[in-house]
Structure 1
């Protein structure tokens, strides 16, 4: 949607909190935080937030062995986020989708009704904003 740099002072606090949870692999909680933001938000980034929510839920399903659920959401994540590529709200959307796809490659390719696919921790996508938040919040260790 835009190639313009985002002013890091304008990042929504819930956006950043969701990123923290996502990068901690707490996908359920990141989805909850972003959903809180998305529910009341009516601006141009609404579908962007929805795409992040669905990415978190897809990874949550994958981590819990619900491969069919992860596979269903995989395509919808692209449907929501691709319109915002290559860059939106500090996120290199195209790079995020590449890492998301690499993580779910076997899931997306599977045609089995109940496949058994192991989550590879080395392939888990992370979100790093450019520019980063002023307090470095997305990368903070707690």
Structure 2
């Protein structure tokens, strides 16, 4: 197991997947805690393993992009004056738009996930960034978004 693989495998320890791939379940576990980088990494490992042409690949890619967008928002929130982190709103909006496109191709429900609330989250967050001229970050730790995946404990 490579160094990155062993680091990532720790991220799904203790997650009960309830019949799903543990990495898919761990994505929601970490996303809902505001650990967007970790959510991104665990699902990316599944996406890469299955292959970019596999059924559902663009769905996973969209969820990865959603988490990536929130990585940018969290880093901007934590250090808005930083020369790099202060420039993260535009890339966040771009990733959220890509997430909308990729997830939106899967209809109303995929892999047990109701997609309308996920798409609404991506769209509303992106629009809030754009309408503020990329000057205001809509994310804050007191109101972290939560995605519900039925059947998983704590979600």
- Alignment-derived partner of residue 66 in structure 2: 55
Equivalent of 2:114, from 77, 81, 92? 92
2:146 pairs, out of 108, 126, 130, with: 126
* Structure-1-length-normalised TM-score: 0.77
Equivalence for 1:106: 128
Q: Deviations over 1:32-60 (max 9, x none)?
A: 11111111113311111100000000011
CA deviations on 1:63-108 (whole Å, 9 max, x unpaired) are: 1121011011121011110011200111111111113333343213
Q: Separation in 2 of the partners of 1:124 and 1:23?
A: 7
Cα displacement string for residues 2-54 of structure 1 (whole angstroms, at most 9, x for unaligned residues): xxxxxx85411110011101111000010011111111113311111100000
Note closer, same or farther for the CA distance 1:59–1:39 as it changes in structure 2 (3 Å cut). same
CA distance in 2, matches of 1:25, 1:85: 26
Partner-residue secondary structure (3-state), 1:55: helix
- The two structures have a TM-score, normalised by structure 2, of 0.72
Structure 1 segment 1-142 matched on structure 2, within 5 A: 10-42=19-51, 43-65=54-76, 66-112=88-134, 115-121=135-141, 123-130=143-150, 132-133=151-152, 136=153, 139=154
Alpha carbon RMSD of aligned pairs, Å? 2.1
Matched positions, count: 126
Q: Unpaired segments of 5 or more residues in structure 2?
A: 1-16, 77-87
Report the Cα distance in structure 1 between the residues aligned to 2:145 and 2:138, rounded to whole angstroms: 15
* Higher RCO (CA 8 Å, separation ≥ 6 residues): 1
